Amino acid sequence: MRKKLSLIFLGMLCFFSIHAKKIEGVIVFSDKTANVTFDIPSTALIGFDPDFAHVQKGVTYYENGDKKKLKPDDAKEIKFTIDGKEIRMLSTVKDDKDLFLQIIIDGNLKLFNFHSSQYTGGAPGVGGAPMAGSNISVDNYLFQKGGGDLMKFKGFSFRKKMVEYLSECPKLCEKIENKEFRSDDLEKIVNYYNSNCGK
pLDDT tens digit string along 65-113? Answer: 999 999 999 999 999 999 999 999 999 999 899 999 999 999 999 999 9
Handedness of CA 100, 75, 88, 37 (dihedral sign): negative
Torsion of CA 174, 177, 183, 184, to 10 degrees: -60
Nearest Cα neighbor of 29 from 80, 85, 114, 90 is: 90
- Which pLDDT belongs to residue 19? 72
Handedness of CA 39, 43, 44, 48 (dihedral sign): negative
Pairwise CA distance, residues 135 & 120, whole Å: 6
Distances 103 to 14, 78, 79 between C-alpha atoms, Å: 29, 11, 10
Pairwise CA distance, residues 40 & 24, whole Å: 10
Q: What percent of the chain has pLDDT over 70?
A: 77
- What is the DSSP pairing of strand 77-82 with strand 20-28? antiparallel
Report pTM: 0.79
- ∠ CA 191-195-198, nearest 5°, is 100
Question: Hey, which residues does 51 pair with through a beta bridge?
Answer: none
71 vs 19, more confident = 71
Pairwise CA distance, residues 14 & 30, whole Å: 37
Residues 6+ apart with CB under 8 A from 35: 24, 25, 26
Burial 67-106 (b: 16+ CB within 10 A, else e): eeebebeebebbbbeeeeeebbbbbbebeeeebbbbbbbe
77 vs 130, more confident = 77
Which DSSP helix (H) or strand (E) runs through 26? strand 20-28
